[in-house]
Amino acid sequence: MSNLFQNYNRWNLEIDSGEGAKVIDTNGNEYLDFTSGIGVTNLGHNHPKVKAALQQQLDKVWHVSNLFEIELQERVASRLTKHSSGDAVLFCNSGAEANEAAIKLARKHTDKHKIITFEQSFHGRTMATLSATGQEKVKHGFGPQLETFVHVPYNDIDALSKEMDVYTAAVMIEIVQGEGGVNPGNEQFIQKVEEMCMEYGILLIVDEVQTGIGRTGKPFAYQHHNISPDIITSAKGLGNGFPVGAMISKQALIESFGPGTHGTTFGGNPLAMATADAVLKIVFDEGFLDDVANKGDYLLSSLEKELGGCSFVENIRGKGLMIGIACTGEVTSLLPSLRQKGLLILVAGQKVIRLLPPLIVSKQEIDKAVGLLADEIRSKAEAAKV
């Protein structure tokens, strides 16, 4: 009998080691990893520079509390603010914690508590962030929730405008909804959200936990649109597997989080910061994100070429290396057979295949994954006809 809570539907597979976009299981089988630990190991497994940075820090000091000066935090914060609309950073340990911090900051700064989020959104599983999440399955059994979150349909400006008023503290949005089905926000919608936030004096929070740190081919996905959010949250790819989260905010909000208002024991500890510093140095380096955008286009066009006319596929969508293939039927049954052929992929909901390859994936690896995936989906389409 396992001594673990059974709160995950685990695959019958244990990873023993990894290198780049490949992992090897405990039986010695090799897989192409298009899951990246759900958008985390963006620089691939065992990245030499990230590993060296962590190893170097391991020999110096692991943890000191936030009562001390931590120069590495300054360095990581400077990289994050240089590449975003923010001016100051608060470090924590996960995406949910980054969103918790954003929710608390928005409430404290505005002295209001209504926050608008979107149907199908996902913001985490703490009490505040599951209340913020626009999916019933995440909330089920955990009521009563924080009642001041209002969910409106995504990409629907009329529905949003009906809820926006002077009592609203913030709008919290994913630029591409990840867990909710890889749904990209459309250009006009995203622009209008910002415009209306400005009109009513509402804070704009972008949840970049999954889309940030280069996943979509820009440092943060909101940068595909001409907007300047008040608060940005980040986690997942920031530590490439080392747990770390961050909330980045504009100057005007800084004074609302003075000493004693918010904090965490581990947030921003030297091990996390050494790792994040090495990750950001690589991701924000000249040319790296152009290459990601280029490979994202290549993946999307390869999938469209292979699966464009397939009756099982409704549409293929996404940004950069965050791609969803929306299908007409359930897709979880594809996962075991693809695993057997050496490809690890994800789903988002019942009918969307989700691909999150590492940002360092090669075009050859993309070709291999697309070939395996297209064969499997075409077989599924044929089977559905019989």
Please say which residue, 100 or 194, places its beta carbon nearer to ligand PLP.
100
d(CA 138, CA 171): 20
Minimal distance, residue 176 CB to ligand PLP, in Å: 9
Yes or no: say if 354 and 347 are a contact pair by the CB < 8 Å rule.
yes
Q: How far is CA 186 from CA 114, 189, 190, 225, 226, in A?
A: 24, 5, 6, 9, 12
Looking at 172-180, 186-194, 196-204, 246-254, which segment touches ligand PLP (CB under 6 A)? 172-180
Minimal distance, residue 134 CB to ligand PLP, in Å: 11
Looking at 56-64, 155-163, 171-179, 359-367, which segment touches ligand PLP (CB under 6 A)? 171-179
Q: What's the Rg (C-alpha) of the chain?
A: 21
Question: Which of 33, 194, 207, 376 touches ligand PLP by CB under 6 A?
Answer: 207
Residue with CB nearest ligand PLP? 95
Judged by CB under 6 A, does residue 247 bind ligand PLP? no
d(CA 371, CA 167): 52
Amino acid making up residue 274: A
Question: Which of 135, 210, 234, 275 touches ligand PLP by CB under 6 A?
Answer: 210
Looking at 69-77, 206-214, 252-260, 327-335, which segment touches ligand PLP (CB under 6 A)? 206-214
Minimal distance, residue 359 CB to ligand PLP, in Å: 16
Yes or no: say if 211 and 186 are a contact pair by the CB < 8 Å rule.
no
d(CA 279, CA 49): 8
Could you tell me if residue 44 is left (phi over 0), alpha (psi between -120 and 50 degrees) or otherwise beta?
left
d(CA 74, CA 62): 17
Judged by CB under 6 A, does residue 95 bind ligand PLP? yes
Please say which residue, 209 or 313, places its beta carbon nearer to ligand PLP.
209
β-bridge mates for residue 322, sequence order: 319
Q: Which of residues 227-246 bind ligand PLP (CB under 6 A)?
A: 235
Please say which residue, 22 or 245, places its beta carbon nearer to ligand PLP.
245
Judged by CB under 6 A, does residue 209 bind ligand PLP? yes
At 319, is the secondary structure helix, strand, or coil?
A: strand
Can you spell out the DSSP letters for 184-198?
EPPHHHHHHHHHHHH
Yes or no: say if 271 and 58 are a contact pair by the CB < 8 Å rule.
yes
Tell whether the torsion through CA atoms of 57, 58, 60 and 65 is positive or negative: positive
d(CA 135, CA 350): 13
Q: How far is CA 78 from CA 21, 162, 276, 330, in A?
A: 29, 38, 12, 44
Judged by CB under 6 A, does residue 160 bind ligand PLP? no
Looking at 14-22, 94-102, 107-115, 157-165, which segment touches ligand PLP (CB under 6 A)? 94-102
Phi, psi values for residue 64, rounded to 5°: -135, 155
Minimal distance, residue 238 CB to ligand PLP, in Å: 10
Please say which residue, 124 or 324, places its beta carbon nearer to ligand PLP.
124
Q: Which of residues 115-154 bind ligand PLP (CB under 6 A)?
A: 122-124
Please say which residue, 208 or 306, places its beta carbon nearer to ligand PLP.
208
Question: Which of 178, 181, 219, 324 touches ligand PLP by CB under 6 A?
Answer: 178
Please say which residue, 207 or 365, places its beta carbon nearer to ligand PLP.
207
Residues that bind ligand PLP (CB under 6 A): 94-96, 99, 122-124, 174, 178-179, 207, 209-210, 235
